[in-house]
Amino acid sequence: DPKIIQKPKYLVAVTGSEKILICEQYLGHNAMYWYRQSAKKPLEFMFSYSYQKLMDNQTASSRFQPQSSKKNHLDLQITALKPDDSATYFCASSQEGGGWGNTLYFGEGSRLIVV
């Protein structure tokens, strides 16, 4: 069973609309992240959260807003969608301070297509 659940798995949205990508992790980790993988580009770091607090934001646009209602949740709200936002969005988590380093575990991704 997947330990990091992302919903929806696939999503088609209209330009200008707003969508929320859901992520829940059941690994007991205290840090969560969002990454994006666009066509022909490497995976890109977007946000990191630790104990529900924003630690790092590498996303230039304020249209992307993470939301953490619980320790094991980190949703991603995207407003005023553009075709360039089309990508697969991956949620990840890790246990900070673990003796084996900061291994990241990824969800299966939410593939977003904006038309």
Partner 1 sequence: GQQVQQSPASLVLQEGENAELQCNFSTSLNSMQWFYQRPEGSLVSLFYNPSGTKQSGRLTSTTVIKERRSSLHISSSQITDSGTYLCAMERGGANTGKLTFGHGTILRVHP
Which residues bind to partner 1, rule: CB under 8 A?
31, 33, 35, 42-45, 48, 55-56, 58, 88, 90, 92, 94, 96-97, 100-109, 111
Nearer to partner 1, 40 or 70 (CB): 40
Nearer to partner 1, 22 or 104 (CB): 104
Nearer to partner 1, 84 or 97 (CB): 97
Angstrom distances, CA of residue 69 to CA of 22, 24, 37: 11, 10, 25
Nearer to partner 1, 44 or 73 (CB): 44
Q: Show the CA angle centred on residue 43, arms to residues 74 and 58, nearest 5°.
A: 60
Q: Show the CA angle centred on residue 52, arms to residues 17 and 54, nearest 5°.
A: 70
Locus of tokens 């939301």: 67
The nearest distance, CB 45 to partner 1, in angstroms, is 5
Structure tokens at 54: 């924003």
Element (DSSP H or E) covering residue 10 = strand 10-13
The nearest distance, CB 16 to partner 1, in angstroms, is 26
Structure tokens at 22: 């859901």
The nearest distance, CB 40 to partner 1, in angstroms, is 8
